[in-house]
Amino acid sequence: MLKQLTQYHPLVIEGMGGYDPRAPAPVAAAIASNLRSRWAISPPTKPLLLVTQGDPIEARGISAITRLVADELQVPRALIFLDEAIADYHKPNADRCGVIMEIAYSTLVNTLHTAMPGSPETLEQAIDTALDEKNQQRLAAGKPALEDYYRAFARLQEVTKAACKCLCGEITVAHTSNDISDFSVTSFYQVGLALGLVAPQDIATYQD
């Protein structure tokens, strides 16, 4: 499966889940348009593959948007899922529309261990530090700490991108909004950037 993944240019879309109040179709159309403009100038060297991270299908938010973008760009999808020991509900509930391959989170962690020894541990520590800082900010504002699942899903998000870029040599990361909450899983993209696992030029900013 990893060998198959290397044949593609991974497209990872990050953003709000089902709580996103916007209709997904205009958001998906804007993302697809922005990507086409971007790739007209600097095209991927391989066929596109939209890499999803186990979100269950919902009427709004990231799962609805990624379905629409995949349809608009006419590209297949891959599913990266958390291992059962981490979240036993994650793989069974994942949207599999258009999915041609499924890869476990632990497989990508092992890939990073082999290609860049120590990088998964460094990434995990950086995510934990960022999570602690966010919780301190919330505590100071009289808000509760972020839910425990943030740690697992932030790791899934950042390991997915780092491993995909490592394996494929290139990646595009698109956000569904420019208004990214400091207390969202998406906000942890800054950790991967800071560690150089994803480059600023890999990120396609959202434009209406």
- What b/e string do you get for 103-118 counting C-beta neighbours within 10 Å, with b at 16 or more? bbbebbbebbeeeeee
- Give the bridge partners for 77, in sequence order: 50, 99
Give this prediction's pTM: 0.95
pLDDT for residue 186 = 97
β partners of residue 51: 12, 78
pLDDT digits (tens, 9 = 90+) for 60-91: 999 999 999 999 999 999 999 999 999 999 99
Taking every pair of Cα atoms in the chain, the longest distance, rounded to a whole number of angstroms, is 49
Q: How far is CA 160 from CA 63, 145, 180, 199, in A?
A: 16, 25, 19, 14
> What secondary structure letter does DSSP report for 172?
E
Q: Is domain 2-204 in CATH 3.40.50, yes or no? A: yes
Task: Tell me the per-residue pLDDT of 7-22, one tens digit each, with 9 for 90 and over.
Answer: 999 999 999 999 999 9
Beta strands in 36-195, from DSSP E residues, in sequence order: 48-52, 77-81, 99-104, 172-175
- Cα(79)–Cα(99) distance, integer angstroms: 7
Tell me which long-range contacts 136-142 makes (C-beta under 8 A, separation of at least 24).
Answer: 137/182, 138/183
Q: How confident is the model at residue 114 (pLDDT cuts 50, 70, 90)?
A: very high
- Token readout for 125 is 């520590």
Confidence class of residue 208 from pLDDT cuts 50, 70 and 90?
A: confident
Q: Is the pLDDT of residue 102 over 90?
A: yes
Stated as kind and residue range, the H or E segment containing 29 is helix 24-41
Q: Residue 181 — left, alpha, or beta (φ > 0 → left; ψ -120 to 50 → alpha)?
A: beta
The answer to whether 24 and 65 are in contact (CB under 8 A) is yes
Residue 207 has pLDDT above 90, yes or no: no
Name the average pLDDT for the chain. 96
pLDDT digits (tens, 9 = 90+) for 143-183: 999 999 999 999 999 999 999 999 999 999 999 999 999 99
Tokens of 40: 């007209």
Residue 34 has pLDDT above 90, yes or no: yes
Phi/psi of residue 77, nearest 5 degrees: -125, 155
pLDDT at 1 over 90: no
Q: Encode 159-193: b = buried (16+ Cβ within 10 Å), e = exposed.
A: bbbbbbbbbbeebbbbbbbeebeeebbbbbbebbb
